[in-house]
Structure 1
Amino acid sequence: MSKKLNAVKLSSLGSVLLLFIASCSTPSLEDVKTKDEYIKRISALSENELQKTLKTDLDSLNSLKEEIDGFNIYIGFGMSMGNGSGKKDELKSDSVFKINTDFNGIRKGVAEYTQNLIFTQKPELPYSSFEVYPNGESANVSKDDLSISLKKLYVKGQAYPEDKIGMKRVDSMTVDFSYEYPKSVKTFKFNPKDKKAIRYQNKAISIYSAEGEELEFDVPLSLYSDILAYQALNADGVLMNSNSSSAIPLTTINPGIKKDFAEALVVLKAASKMTDKDAIVKELGKIPAELFPKIAQYRSFNAKLAALDKNEHLKGFEAIKQMKEIIAGDKELFGLEMQRISLKFPDQVRELVLYLAEDREKITGSAVALANAYSTSYGTYLDRKADKYGIVDSNFNIVIPASEPDLAATDNTGHYYKSSKADQVFHLDAKNRKLIPIKKGYSFIKDLSDKMTVFMDSNKYVGVLENDEKEVIPFEYDEIEKVGNVLLLTKSKRGRKKREIRSLDNKLITELKGLSTKSYPEYGVIIIEDELEKLGMIDKNGKMVVKPIYNELVPVDQQPLLVYADDSQRYLSGILKGDGTKLTPPIFGHIDDFKDGMAVYRPAQEEAGKSYGYLNKAGQPVLSKYTVAYGFEAGYALVFDNDVFSIIDTSGKKVRQIPYKVLGDPTISLSGKQTIYEIDGKKYNYIGQPIN
């Protein structure tokens, strides 16, 4: 039987692909669910009927085997890596792919990763699931290539196996890890044009399509794991990187089921050559019993796909989600054997170049992972047996039993949830252990206070409800933001933005006609800009305190204090108080935010290489001047002066020196709320202590 292509939901969102490839047939065995039923049916036939049935069954099973041999499902995402818009005569040869040969750096990176493992726990019944990952980055090691398996879970020092943990809150775990990397690479070149398959060693690469700049081919998973990179040569021998690629696992029929089909065909062929009925029945008894329920399951799966294909309202990610659910429901049917690779290059491909790992080194070991902080007061959990969702608190105690078919938190505190299937938003009443439905069509946006909440209605306008019921701000705005003690509201009117400042009970304070705004909620101020691009300020109570006359106006302290620049001194800044009073004239080259009462500043003119210093909140220079200075944290700051990195306290005293061999700019990052300095490859905390 010839194969045909069925496309189930050829939906596209960006580069999302959802394809089903198989032929469809209706074998004569469709009424038979078990082997015993089949033998009973065969035994009841006359010899003439038996021969006709054997021929029909052989043809049907042969067609069905062809169908499952050609069966593939793939669901995936393409990744664009360039615009591919260059003309052919502009093509420049890309660099030849090379592996990282800093093997000591790789080993060091793996050691650093595995000494800083953390995990997140996803509460589920009958037992939780976990994701373990390194807490940090490494230039030499990819997190994705680090394989981690759980050993034991610990709750307050007591060990549990994974399947006995339930929803107990785990604080640490032991894991095994492995990291494999190539030490040498081999290239394999071939011209894919007009070829159906290419062999590499004893493995076949099937060419699905090869047209101009685009290629699609299937490789066995065992070979795909060795492929490190792809490049191509055009007709002029120019080496090209691909400007888009995707690699999608092909779901095929389980090899065990294919084997049962092959054995059944051998039996049917042998039986069809026999004439004695008893001998035929005895021979048919050799058909694997598992085959019959799998045929029924496969037909049921095809029926579900057909129903999915007919649903005209199902598109994009929802189609993908349902497709995955169908596959998961019949997972015993499937296996993974191949990977489909799709590539596009800037020019027509003469030869494809595959880079394959030839010699590998594997690093293995054991480590301890610590729990990542659970950031919300409440969250969802899944009861896998019931396939329902409920809500737990931060210690994973059940607040709402699992009763919803789908449920997802819509805020970062865990007080609002949405059921997509029911298109319903709920508010969690944790005290009374209830999910209270919000008005249909409303979506949670953010809390303004314990009682006031911003929602979006079905028309995509936002408004404010008090206690999730009473409308305080009507649903006619594009944006609502709380700044200090007031609300900044924005709505579109005849294509123009209209901005208002209102009190929390919806009383109009100011209508900002012709003004654009930038809010700083952390400082409780709103910076305004007029038609002449001059800047002013509105305070936390909605009062205009600084008229729009400045070229620069940025809050740098809670007081508030602001950095300003005006027309009197171009490119220089000064400090302005929150009431509009100038604390200093514009005499500084640059001023940072205030931290611990001091702000890093740069003078208008350098003094013998001393480029930075500190200002107090009176705008007065304090401490010394330094070649480079950084902001304070908890009473300490990093400075560089006289070729030495030092940590100083708020009096300017140098409390610690940080050594280095190779001078370079320090890397500054945050770990939680604490600053981490990296100098010459070594890390230090905010007071200059080395971090292992």
Structure 2
Amino acid sequence: MIKKTLKNLFLFVLTISLSSCGQEKKSENSIERHFNVFHDDDYNYGITDEKGDTIIPAQRFDLAKRANYYYMEKIESNGEIVLNWLDVKNRRLVPLRNFSDFHSSINNETDVFYNKEYKLAVFKNREEMILPFQYGSFDKLGKYFLAHKFDFKSVEVFDENLKKISNQGIEDYILLSNKKLITVEKNYKWGIINDKLELIVPFIYDYAISELPNSENLFIVITQPDNVQFYGLMNDKGEIVQPLDFSYIDDVESENLIRICKNNKWGFINTQGNILIYPKYDGVTNFVNNHAIIRVNDKVGYINAQGNIIAQPKFAKCNEFNSGYAFVIIDDFNYGLIDTQGNFVMKGKKNSNSWVGDKLNDKDKRYFIMNKTYNYKGDLINDKVIYK
């Protein structure tokens, strides 16, 4: 939503690249038009075309583009935020007070809008209702469209002409970043269909199938026999590439490495699904700046992205590396600063009830410990606490 405190912003020009959605049809060889939303020093907003000719003169309102660039929000003089449509031919903004926001375009004439209850409906030329306000989501899959009913668990499927067709018993779906595949639920089991509505992965998994982070064709699958979860990896053909004998596979990657757990031990796989660091640690963090913290029993240390130990698990606490250094607490009374080779560049003893600061300043390599400021060599700079 548009913030009302735009006077604090710097002068900007927002270039809008317009598609044909909701406007005149274009041939394949036509060039997309470009429009600028601008404001002057007094924050009066207007719109110009690619030649700099005025389409909408600067006026006392605020504009913000929506996902389809012919739609924008306008803050009116009474503070009301109203969705508007840019009528290029007649050089005017048309308020659409029946809609609270724009969702997506289906074709040159047909768009999906939100109402004030945040339900979705489909309209032709912004006036003729094709599908009523009753959907919580509306997504394209190939030439088909899938929509969740808003208030209860039900999915409807439409063809390219928005004619309702069989949903094949689908009760839920989650759109994947791969626009040709979608994970679907039926009778409390999950599978995958393609953009032709063909079932390519049967309904055998107990949880929604998710994509392995930064992978184009690998998916995390989960079964739960006897209320015990087992994770594995599957490719886009439905073939298992890592057996379902992991107790966890993370859905977040860090520096192209993903945490895994097997037999209560932790390691990492890469985005190709290969085990890079075999599960052998009692705990691991995600990689940050090419290093991860590992835990063995109650001690922690560091490994690099190649799986090499650069600091044995011998510390009571470790912090992330920052600017090539990491703060470590050796025990209840001793602390230090190590480099990426695991060598101490500074050691000290605790002399108060709390540790103060644990981040190395990127700019001047200051480190804040125990109410004092040190450089990375351990030289005292300042007795005062200075936060980053």
Q: In structure 2, what is the Cα distance between the partners aligned to 1:521 and 1:512?
A: 19
Q: Secondary structure at the match of 1:546?
A: strand
Q: TM-score, normalised by structure 1?
A: 0.34
Note if contact 2:38-2:47 (Cα within 8 Å) is conserved in structure 1. Answer: yes
Note if contact 1:472-1:505 (Cα within 8 Å) is conserved in structure 2. Answer: no
Q: Which residue of 1 aligns with 2:112?
A: 454
Q: Deviations over 1:227-278 (max 9, x none)?
A: xxxxxxxxxxxxxxxxxxxxxxxxxxxxxxxxxxxxxxxxxxxxxxxxxxxx
Q: Which residue of 2 aligns with 1:546?
A: 201
Letter in 1 for 2:184: I
Q: 1:130 to 1:424 in 2, by over 3 A?
A: closer
Q: Does 1:615 align with 2:272?
A: no
Q: 1:539 to 1:383 in 2, by over 3 A?
A: same
307, 313, 327: which one aligns with 1:659: 327
510, 528, 532: which one aligns with 2:184: 528
Letter in 2 for 1:591: I
Q: Which residue of 1 aligns with 2:384?
A: none
**How far 1:554 sits from its partner (Å)?**
3.0
Q: Which residue of 2 aligns with 1:500?
A: 156
Q: Which residue of 2 aligns with 1:145?
A: none
Q: Which residue of 2 aligns with 1:130?
A: 8
Q: In structure 1, what is the Cα distance between the partners aligned to 2:55 and 2:366?
A: 43
Q: How does 1:255-294 map to 2 (within 5 A)?
A: none
Q: Which residue of 2 aligns with 1:269?
A: none
Q: Which residue of 1 aligns with 2:230?
A: 572
Q: In structure 1, what is the Cα distance between the partners aligned to 2:327 and 2:118?
A: 57
Q: Secondary structure at the match of 2:328?
A: coil
Q: Deviations over 1:63-97 (max 9, x none)?
A: xxxxxxxxxxxxxxxxxxxxxxxxxxxxxxxxxxx
Q: Which residue of 1 aligns with 2:131?
A: 474
> Relative contact order, CA 8 A, sep 6+: which one is greater?
1
**How far 1:553 sits from its partner (Å)?**
3.5
Q: Does 1:489 align with 2:137?
A: no
Q: 1:682 to 1:498 in 2, by over 3 A?
A: same
Q: Does 1:437 align with 2:90?
A: no
Note if contact 2:101-2:115 (Cα within 8 Å) is conserved in structure 1. Answer: no
**How far 1:463 sits from its partner (Å)?**
3.0
**How far 1:539 sits from its partner (Å)?**
3.7
**How far 1:587 sits from its partner (Å)?**
0.8
**How far 1:379 sits from its partner (Å)?**
6.6
Q: In structure 2, what is the Cα distance between the partners aligned to 1:474 and 1:663?
A: 65
Q: 1:459 to 1:544 in 2, by over 3 A?
A: same
Q: TM-score, normalised by structure 2?
A: 0.55
- Report the number of matched residues: 291
Q: How does 1:41-190 map to 2 (within 5 A)?
A: 123=6, 129-130=7-8, 168=11
Note if contact 1:535-1:548 (Cα within 8 Å) is conserved in structure 2. Answer: yes
Q: Does 1:603 align with 2:267?
A: no
**How far 1:690 sits from its partner (Å)?**
8.5
Q: 1:383 to 1:620 in 2, by over 3 A?
A: closer
Q: Does 1:646 align with 2:308?
A: no
Consecutive unaligned residues in structure 2, runs of 5 or more: 14-34, 311-323, 333-354, 368-387
Q: 1:413 to 1:501 in 2, by over 3 A?
A: closer
Note if contact 1:484-1:521 (Cα within 8 Å) is conserved in structure 2. Answer: no
Note if contact 2:222-2:229 (Cα within 8 Å) is conserved in structure 1. Answer: no
Letter in 2 for 1:602: C
Note if contact 2:293-2:301 (Cα within 8 Å) is conserved in structure 1. Answer: yes
Letter in 2 for 1:474: L
Q: 1:461 to 1:551 in 2, by over 3 A?
A: closer
Q: Which residue of 2 aligns with 1:555?
A: 210
- CA RMSD across the alignment: 4.9
Q: How does 1:334-373 map to 2 (within 5 A)?
A: none
Q: Deviations over 1:97-149 (max 9, x none)?
A: xxxxxxxxxxxxxxxxxxxxxxx9955xxxxx328xxxxxxxxxxxxxxxxxx
**How far 1:480 sits from its partner (Å)?**
3.3
Q: In structure 2, what is the Cα distance between the partners aligned to 1:564 and 1:685?
A: 42
Note if contact 1:564-1:576 (Cα within 8 Å) is conserved in structure 2. Answer: no
Pick the structure with more helix per residue. Answer: 1
Q: Does 1:464 align with 2:122?
A: yes
Note if contact 1:382-1:402 (Cα within 8 Å) is conserved in structure 2. Answer: yes
Q: In structure 1, what is the Cα distance between the partners aligned to 2:103 and 2:249?
A: 33
Note if contact 1:457-1:475 (Cα within 8 Å) is conserved in structure 2. Answer: no
Percent identical: 17
Note if contact 1:574-1:585 (Cα within 8 Å) is conserved in structure 2. Answer: yes
622, 625, 630: which one aligns with 2:285: 630
Q: In structure 2, what is the Cα distance between the partners aligned to 1:483 and 1:680?
A: 52
Note if contact 1:528-1:536 (Cα within 8 Å) is conserved in structure 2. Answer: yes
Note if contact 2:140-2:146 (Cα within 8 Å) is conserved in structure 1. Answer: yes
Q: In structure 1, what is the Cα distance between the partners aligned to 2:165 and 2:331?
A: 55
**How far 1:636 sits from its partner (Å)?**
3.1
**How far 1:507 sits from its partner (Å)?**
5.3
Q: Secondary structure at the match of 1:511?
A: coil
Q: In structure 1, what is the Cα distance between the partners aligned to 2:359 and 2:68?
A: 33
Q: 1:617 to 1:122 in 2, by over 3 A?
A: closer
Note if contact 2:157-2:166 (Cα within 8 Å) is conserved in structure 1. Answer: yes
Consecutive unaligned residues in structure 1, runs of 5 or more: 1-119, 124-128, 132-166, 171-376, 606-610, 665-678
578, 581, 591: which one aligns with 2:239: 581
Note if contact 1:682-1:690 (Cα within 8 Å) is conserved in structure 2. Answer: no
Q: 1:443 to 1:567 in 2, by over 3 A?
A: same
Q: Does 1:511 align with 2:170?
A: no
**How far 1:647 sits from its partner (Å)?**
5.7
Q: In structure 2, what is the Cα distance between the partners aligned to 1:121 and 1:496?
A: 36
Q: Secondary structure at the match of 1:586?
A: strand
Note if contact 1:645-1:659 (Cα within 8 Å) is conserved in structure 2. Answer: no
Note if contact 1:510-1:542 (Cα within 8 Å) is conserved in structure 2. Answer: no
Note if contact 1:563-1:573 (Cα within 8 Å) is conserved in structure 2. Answer: yes
Note if contact 1:424-1:437 (Cα within 8 Å) is conserved in structure 2. Answer: no
Q: Does 1:593 align with 2:251?
A: yes
Q: In structure 2, what is the Cα distance between the partners aligned to 1:391 and 1:450?
A: 27
Q: In structure 2, what is the Cα distance between the partners aligned to 1:542 and 1:690?
A: 58
Q: In structure 2, what is the Cα distance between the partners aligned to 1:680 and 1:556?
A: 40
Note if contact 1:477-1:489 (Cα within 8 Å) is conserved in structure 2. Answer: no
Note if contact 2:266-2:281 (Cα within 8 Å) is conserved in structure 1. Answer: yes
**How far 1:416 sits from its partner (Å)?**
1.3
**How far 1:602 sits from its partner (Å)?**
0.6
